[in-house]
Amino acid sequence: MSLTKITWEEFDTFDKIESPKGYDFRRHEGKYYTFGEFGVASVRRVFEINPSDFNEYLLGRRTAREIDFKAQNDCWPPTEEEKKVSEKQFVLKGLTPLIASPKSWELFTQEELETLIPLAEKNGLTGEVSFQMIMYHH
């Protein structure tokens, strides 16, 4: 839900809810909370968890990681498909990752690579990799 003004000391007094290792969920006055540590000095911040989200966790429809992420970011973590689309967009912005990281080739079809690699080569982004190497490994 959102960042609260609750201190770590207050949070530490709330009822602890059984949760997987690495997660700390608490209940207080009918509300659910988690925390995150931020910065070099490891500042702890307490976040309120939306009750319906926590219910999804209790029903096994969401993981502790997903609940923790949503409490801190006010959105669900990206799906694998969303991550792939984001990575592909990043590569397309400059094409350098396409040449620098063979792993990025997996984001594209053979047909897309046949179009993109010559563009990267034309722009002098070949480095040590050639189009033939990409075709061989893909």
Per-residue confidence (pLDDT) for residue 50, from 0 to 100: 94
Q: Is residue 131 pLDDT above 70, yes or no?
A: no
Alpha carbon distance 138, 5 (integer Å): 52
pLDDT at res. 119: 76
- Domain region containing 16: 2-73
Backbone angle region of 78, left / alpha / beta, with phi > 0 → left and psi within -120 to 50 → alpha: beta
Residue ending a domain, among 73, 96, 129, is 73
pTM > 0.75: no
Together in a domain, 69 and 84 = no
Q: Does one domain contain both 64 and 88? A: no
- Residue at a domain's end among 39, 73, 107: 73
Last residue of a domain, one of 57, 73, 89: 73
Same domain, residue pair 93 and 127: yes
On whether both 46 and 9 belong to a single domain, the answer is: yes
Q: Using pLDDT thresholds of 50, 70 and 90, give the confidence band for residue 1.
A: low
Shared domain check, 119 and 89? yes
Which amino acid is located at 115 in the chain? T
Q: Residue 67: what pLDDT?
A: 94
Number of domain units in the chain: 2
For residue 125, how far is the Cα from the chain centroid? 29
pLDDT at position 13 is: 96
Same domain (yes/no): 93, 125: yes
**Are the C-beta atoms of residues 32 and 26 closer than 8 Å to each other?**
yes
Residue 19 and residue 46 in one domain = yes
Angle at 16 between CA 12 and CA 21, to 5 degrees: 100
Same domain, 88 and 64: no
Who wins on pLDDT, 95 or 88? Answer: 88
